[in-house]
Structure 1
Amino acid sequence: MNTFRVLKTAVTDVAATTTQPGAATARTGVLNLSKGFTMQTPNFLAPTSRGVVPHLSPDNLEKNTGVEGVFVALEDFIEKAPQRIPPLYTYPSTLRSFISLPSSTFLLLSPRRSPGITCPKANSDANLSILTSVGFRDLPIKDYVSAVVRLEPDIVLGIADIANTVSPGKNRVQKMVNRTEMWLDELLKMVYPVAAAGEKEGDKSIPAVFAPILPLEKDRQRFYLSHLVDNVEKLAGLVFTGAEFVDVVPEELAGLPKLQSDVMGGPHQVLEMVGRGVDLFNIGFVGVMTDAGIALHFNFTANEVGDEDKLELATDMWDAKFATDLSPLEEGCECYTCKKHHKAYIRHCLEAKEMTAWVLLQLHNLKVMERFFGDVRRSIEEGWWEKGRSAFEKKYKREMPEGTGLGPRLRGYQYKSVGGDKKLNEPAYRSLDSGDEDGL
């Protein structure tokens, strides 16, 4: 069975702004998945690209990080013929084996990356519009549902019909509600008959289904929320695309773990959402910082701060001042990078476009997040959560620094184009003719 148990709560200042029971409560909990995985919450998932945490091989992920779960998008693996290409559909094993995911790390499967690139074609009742490595296409809902059974993820996200506009009209809202409910029912109907058959044979590989909460006010999706309440015994959690909609959750669903699918605003956003009762976070901002050559260095403590200027949350390692700096990225950090290498080496690797630079930065940045979430859990358990949150707000700037150097080569889904943009990466080769300095 997939279960979630709340261990301790800590009411925050957010409680004064809402009347929703449990919506403004920071809490610790334990999530138990049917395949044997256990995770203490609040905690984070690492986003992946084609099933791999960027810059880290599976052995590095297992040996040098404490990452407990990864966020995998089926969109990454779909091409023109989803049943034949890529080999994902002909590989004689599960998605876990296909991507060589360490046995100690659980796998969450989503239909789309998060945040996903807006597709020019709208969804239909039978299809989800997605962006693949070969362009935009439709993913039949039935294909996603059958993929869940075939690929055997530990957690699966239901599909939400998200409008391309910020304020959808009445008719569009009705479609969003109806489709999301219909797609969730298709997923539940497929998962539970298979799960029941597996249980009879002693197979405990029952995927945990997280139902999507639409980015709509409570009144505009009340019928959908009522449907979730009616099926609460089949749900293992809830997933959100917007933090502002956490408070729409009915009291009957408040005991389910809550996942924020796209955290791009940094640790301040994480703390705000922990205070609203969110338990799991897909931390997209960490990969963005690593790609930019930036090292994170923040801590969550109850230490009081004075009137000094606020500190940066991270450091741009492209800065020339680090060329001869033999100190670690962060004093006292226990990550592999800080114990084995120094700032000068990492900056040299960045300048040389050596991929080791991003490997070392990713290892360090993930370790910072592990420590951060561990301290958040401890603050709730020991009763100094609100004091720590206030101290963090006073101590650190809210915005992350911007990188000044070139990152690794980007995939098309990693940025949005508005047309006429310059290339983000310099050409790898240039003309030897002195008159052509701009390259071929």
Structure 2
Amino acid sequence: MTPFTVGTRLPGAQGRTGVLSTPHGDIRTPAFIAVGTKATVKAVLPESMSDLGAQAVLANAYHLYLQPGPDIVENGGGLGSFMNWPGPTFTDSGGFQVLSLGAGFKKVLAMDVKGLQSDDVIAAGKTRLATVDDDGVTFKSHLDGSKHRFTPEISMQIQHQLGADVIFAFDECTTLMNTREYQERSVDRTQAWAVRCIDEHRRLTASRAGKPYQALFGVIQGAQYEDLRRQAVRDLLPLGFDGFGIGGALEKENLGTIVRWCCEEMPEAMPRHLLGISEPDDVFTAIENGADTFDCVSPSRVARNGAIYSPDGRYNLVTARYRRDFSPLAEGCDCYTCANYTRAYLHHLFKAKEMVSCTLATIHNERFIVKLVDDVRRSIEDGSFAEFRAEFLSRYYAAKRLGPQNEGPGRSSTNDGHLRY
């Protein structure tokens, strides 16, 4: 079992600091886990991620299964060695990608719920690429249309080959468009799959003697239903997971409430990972309500489109106003990009479609979120969390409160869709 030590508790809330120990080093929590989906944070060297303070990275079993194949990663020494990352690593089970890509929703599952709910949800204009049954999921690759099958056992086998320090049980990820009845069946199915994941994980662990232990986290589903979320935790607890991931589609305004429901049902010494958030208000909300670690592709993805995080909100660097702006991307930022380059230069790189634009912007955005979470952790330790949250969010969202005309193109105070990416 991967040890987790609770540090400073946030008075009157589920939030806390702590240390998650792994075979490749300790993670001081709360911590943002940078997403390197295909064994790389897009456009950035692993060395740069280490320099900017990232403590761990997360890759995805679905994508690495399709390309290059888990056997190649295993032969390369496991995920960390393969990508030249010396620190802790996580892998998602692939369940979200199988089901979201299979239903045509890509990265977004929290679509409009005002319409007719259904047991069989598919994106408009798309054909179904994944079919779920009680044994697993049959799906077509989004790369070449080839047919594949994931079961709990196969997901465990893939993740053991990938060799990450923290791995996740295979779960069924639903949408907010699914009916209550389907959500109930899905929670039951995820629980049954969890039993099979535990059994296969133990078998593989015993058969791979000498390999570092991989912590297995169960995944809590139940959409926005309190009874389903709480019951999901209660059903998973006796199985012996090393920690839990909180997943599933939910509306942004219910994020904190749902995280709190789940964390209230867990033992204090159980590490809690929230799958897929990074917007600043969500960061504060998730941490306050008990999330120890969380991940999201958003900092790197929006960076590649020229959207830049700053203390005064997110802005679009590609707009003409930055053509002659020779200030750093964010005043006071200590990242490599801000220390050496200007907005005008990155504006030029984006307009000229130079690849290094994505690298420099991503370094800045990843550092911004990593530092924000580091600062949140320090504020919990020194008792200034509430003051720090109020000051930071008031400044970050000030322009949005003044109205759309005060927001630069590309600025947003909301997630880019569903919680998992």
Please classify the TM superposition score into its range, dividing by the shorter chain length.
0.7 to 0.9
Q: Describe the superposition over 1:73-104 as per-residue Cα deviations: whole angstroms up to 9, x where unpaired.
A: 1221344xxxxx74443452444167414112
Shift of residue 376, structure 1, vs aligned partner: 0.3
- State the SS of the aligned residue for 1:77: helix
Q: How does 1:14-413 map to 2 (within 5 A)?
A: 24-33=13-22, 35-62=23-50, 64-79=51-66, 86-90=68-72, 92-96=75-79, 99-112=82-95, 116-117=100-101, 119=103, 120=128, 121-128=130-137, 132-135=142-145, 137-141=147-151, 142-170=153-181, 172-196=182-206, 203=210, 205-216=212-223, 217-220=225-228, 224-231=232-239, 233-241=240-248, 242=250, 243=255, 244-249=257-262, 251-263=265-277, 266-298=279-311, 312-397=312-397, 402-403=409-410
Distance in 2 between the 1:357 and 1:157 partners? Answer: 34
Structure-1-length-normalised TM-score: 0.75
Asked if the contact 1:94/1:150 (under 8 Å) is kept, the reply is no
**Equivalent residue letter for 2:214:** P
Q: Describe the superposition over 1:283-302 as per-residue Cα deviations: whole angstroms up to 9, x where unpaired.
A: 3321232022022112xxxx
**Equivalent residue letter for 1:238:** G
**Equivalent residue letter for 1:40:** R
Q: Describe the superposition over 1:265-313 as per-residue Cα deviations: whole angstroms up to 9, x where unpaired.
A: x101111111111111113321232022022112xxxxxxxxxxxxx41
Q: Describe the superposition over 1:2-52 as per-residue Cα deviations: whole angstroms up to 9, x where unpaired.
A: 01111011135xxxxxxxxxxx3221111112x142111111111223221
- State the SS of the aligned residue for 2:327: coil
- State the SS of the aligned residue for 1:253: coil
- Counting matched residue pairs gives 370
- State the SS of the aligned residue for 2:133: coil
Distance in 1 between the 2:82 and 2:138 partners? Answer: 24
Distance in 2 between the 1:222 and 1:366 partners? Answer: 33
Shift of residue 380, structure 1, vs aligned partner: 0.5
Distance in 2 between the 1:368 and 1:292 partners? Answer: 16
Distance in 1 between the 2:69 and 2:202 partners? Answer: 27
CA shift in 2, pair 1:350/1:177, >3 Å: same
Shift of residue 65, structure 1, vs aligned partner: 2.3
Asked if the contact 2:7/2:19 (under 8 Å) is kept, the reply is yes
CA shift in 2, pair 1:55/1:401, >3 Å: farther
Shift of residue 118, structure 1, vs aligned partner: 5.3
CA shift in 2, pair 1:331/1:97, >3 Å: closer
Shift of residue 149, structure 1, vs aligned partner: 2.2
**Equivalent residue letter for 2:220:** I
- State the SS of the aligned residue for 2:370: helix
Asked if the contact 2:58/2:89 (under 8 Å) is kept, the reply is no
**Equivalent residue letter for 2:164:** P
Distance in 1 between the 2:138 and 2:386 partners? Answer: 42
- Which residue number in structure 1 is paired with residue 109 of structure 2? none
Shift of residue 137, structure 1, vs aligned partner: 4.8
Distance in 2 between the 1:403 and 1:99 partners? Answer: 35
Judging by fraction of residues, say which structure has more helix: 2
The 10-residue stretch of structure 1 (108-117 or 252-261) with the greater mean CA deviation from structure 2: 108-117
Aligned-residue Cα RMSD (Å) equals 2.9
Distance in 2 between the 1:206 and 1:44 partners? Answer: 22
Distance in 2 between the 1:274 and 1:401 partners? Answer: 28
CA shift in 2, pair 1:325/1:132, >3 Å: same
CA shift in 2, pair 1:90/1:357, >3 Å: closer
CA shift in 2, pair 1:370/1:90, >3 Å: closer
Distance in 1 between the 2:188 and 2:306 partners? Answer: 44
Structure-2-length-normalised TM-score: 0.79
Shift of residue 140, structure 1, vs aligned partner: 2.1
CA shift in 2, pair 1:240/1:256, >3 Å: farther
Asked if the contact 1:107/1:155 (under 8 Å) is kept, the reply is yes
Asked if the contact 2:70/2:161 (under 8 Å) is kept, the reply is no
Q: How many percent of aligned residue pairs carry the same amino acid? A: 21
- State the SS of the aligned residue for 2:10: strand
